[in-house]
């Protein structure tokens, strides 16, 4: 951890444990690190801690910011250097920066489930066998999920409901026939009546 130690009499042995980001130092009680000394400005300087190191930057202070005796506007700090803010002396005890990056483990996608007999189950209907596989995202789906685009005068296209890319039938899987709804059965009944041979009168 980056740390500065005050050496001036009356303020000695105070340490500033710097945090990542901007650390404001000055006489103002709202600063991150307050130094009650008349030679220190309200906001005297900023100490910026980043993955690149520790940067000291003067904030237009009245009595100046010094590093190893030289007045600076901005300078990188290293361990063992002397910093002076007005008439207050500090020692750079450490410039070690620990930037912790949290680990996020992505949940691995589960493989497709299998039904009795070894058939792959549809990713959306766990009890239905997958009859199509997307050529792009590799999703597997049953007859109820695949989108069918019928082209006049050509073979129908089977499209993935997830990415709208082309799907191919899974070899060796017999697709169950879709159950007809009420209106479909009604239409078939009407069609049969219309196409039946009329009875001859006796």
* Tokens at 197, concatenated: 């041979």
51/96 Cα distance (integer angstroms): 10
48/23 Cα distance (integer angstroms): 6
41/85 Cα distance (integer angstroms): 9
pLDDT in tens, 24-78: 999 999 999 999 999 999 999 999 998 889 999 999 999 999 999 999 999 999 9
Look at 130 and 176; give whichever has higher pLDDT: 130
SS3 assignment for 15-29:
EEECCCEEEEEECCC
5 pLDDT tier (thresholds 50, 70, 90):
very high
pLDDT in tens, 86-134: 999 999 999 888 766 566 565 555 666 788 878 888 888 888 899 999 9
Would residue 91 be called left, alpha or beta, if left means φ above 0 and alpha means ψ between -120 and 50 degrees? beta
Single pTM value for the model: 0.50
186 pLDDT tier (thresholds 50, 70, 90):
low
């Amino acid at each position: 951890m980056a740390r500065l130690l005050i050496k001036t009499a009356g303020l000695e042995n105070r340490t500033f444990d710097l945090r990542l980001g901007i650390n404001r130092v000055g006489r103002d009680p709202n600063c991150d690190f307050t130094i009650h000394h008349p030679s220190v400005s309200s906001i005297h300087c900023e100490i910026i801690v980043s993955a690149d190191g520790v940067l000291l930057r003067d904030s237009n202070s009245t009595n100046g910011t010094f590093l190893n005796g030289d007045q600076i506007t901005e300078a990188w700090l290293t361990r063992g250097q002397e910093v002076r803010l007005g008439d207050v002396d500090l020692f750079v005890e450490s410039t070690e920066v620990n930037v912790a990056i949290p680990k996020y483990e992505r949940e691995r996608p589960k493989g497709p489930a299998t039904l009795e007999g070894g058939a792959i189950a549809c990713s959306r209907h766990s009890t239905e066998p997958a009859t199509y596989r997307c050529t792009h995202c590799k999703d597997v789906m049953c007859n109820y999920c695949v989108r069918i685009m019928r082209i006049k005068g050509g073979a129908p296209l089977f499209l993935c409901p997830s990415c709208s890319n082309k799907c191919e039938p899974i070899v060796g899987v017999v697709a169950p026939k879709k159950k007809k709804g009420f209106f479909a059965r009604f239409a078939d009944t009407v069609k049969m009546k219309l196409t039946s041979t009329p009875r001859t009168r006796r």
